Structure 1
Amino acid sequence: MKKIVLLFVALVLIIACKSQSVTGTKLDMKKEVAIKGDWVIASVNYPGSQFIKVTSFNIEDSKCFVGSEWSFVSNNNKGEMRLTKEKCSGYNTPITWYINKEEKFVVKFLEGVKAKKMDAGYVLNIDNITENSFQLVDYVNVEGKSTKVVYQFNRR
């Protein structure tokens, strides 16, 4: 009887201690299907953007993302991102992405690495999804304050 009680207590502790992460694997398939296809970032807005430089996704200045092309495939959660603006790096990479049940958009820039080996990624809020547009919202630290960066996507 003691063994059964100890086993039960251990099982309860294991279940209770299981972490709930925003990068969990439960997916919001309805929203994923809504954003499948080809998109372009129409604008990147944040307070003080005329004075402050923000490096988006540790890749390039946020202004370089205006006009960038994004492709989202919902059936396998893969895609591609291309920076196309002149005087910018011309960065191009496959991505893996999904929207979890907490309505967070999770993206990894693969840069020649297989998705299962890439452990770094970004978690953003996804807002205002319509047939032809949506927004990704990131929060960055600017002078000790959390600043909201809004990426406006429009369907191509």
Structure 2
Amino acid sequence: MKKLFILILAIGLVSCGTSKTVRESKKVIKGDWVLNSVTSSAIGDIKITLLNDATKDCFENSTWQFIPNNNTGNYTLSGIDCNTQARYFVFTIAEIDEATGLYDFLLKPTNERGQSDTDAGFRLSLTQLSETTMQWQQTVTLEGRPITINMNFNKL
């Protein structure tokens, strides 16, 4: 009886952990990245503000660091007239569909110690992740129509 209980407990602990796919993704995302480009599916030139922080011009060529062992990171904006002070965040990768490789990516801005004033975050889709490239997508509504914003990263 005792062995059966231990076996059930062990299976329960293993099943509650993160999937192998998510663990592998955290290994790949670890390190320094640059956000090369921000594009959208909108027709024409629209002003895009990302993460309630700054315009896409400030985000392009920004540098990002991901530390998956404690799910934290930071980014520094780039560009003329952009505040280049480091911004901090916590992130979570959750698997949506192992077959398609799509992930739900949650990014929550924090202070340097990982604390959030509002506890608000941003839900993005991690649509592509390799050893050298990564893409996030976010769908927003503009004038009643969905617009997809693509954020394309390269690993440094």
Instruction: Using the TM superposition, give the Cα deviation of residue 66 of structure 1 relative to its aligned residue in structure 2, in angstroms.
Output: 0.3
Hey, what's the Cα distance between the residues in 1 that align with 2:117 and 2:83? 25
Larger Rg, first or second structure (1 or 2): 1
- Over the matched positions of the two proteins, sequence identity in percent amounts to 28
Structure 1 unaligned spans of 5+: 1-24
- Number of equivalent positions: 132
Equivalent position of 2:37 in the other structure: 43
Q: 1:130 to 1:114 in 2, by over 3 A?
A: closer
Hey, what's the Cα distance between the residues in 1 that align with 2:135 and 2:143? 24
1:120 paired to 2:114 = no
Calculate the TM-score normalised by the size of structure 1.
0.76
- Which amino acid in structure 2 is aligned with residue 70 of structure 1? W
Instruction: Using the TM superposition, give the Cα deviation of residue 149 of structure 1 relative to its aligned residue in structure 2, in angstroms.
Output: 0.2
Calculate the TM-score normalised by the size of structure 2.
0.76
Instruction: Using the TM superposition, give the Cα deviation of residue 116 of structure 1 relative to its aligned residue in structure 2, in angstroms.
Output: 6.7
- Which amino acid in structure 1 is aligned with residue 61 of structure 2? G
1:60 paired to 2:46 = no
More strand per residue: 2
1:78 paired to 2:76 = no
Q: Is the 8 A contact 1:137 1:150 kept in 2?
A: yes
RMSD over aligned Cα atoms: 2.1
Moved beyond 4 Å, runs of 4+: none
Structure 2 unaligned spans of 5+: 1-16, 97-102
- Output aligned runs, 1:23-38, within 5 Å: 28-38=22-32
Hey, what's the Cα distance between the residues in 2 that align with 1:49 and 1:81? 29
- Which amino acid in structure 2 is aligned with residue 95 of structure 1? F
- CA deviations 1:111-144 (Å, max 9, x no partner) are 3564376511111000121110010101111111
Hey, what's the Cα distance between the residues in 2 that align with 1:121 and 1:104? 13
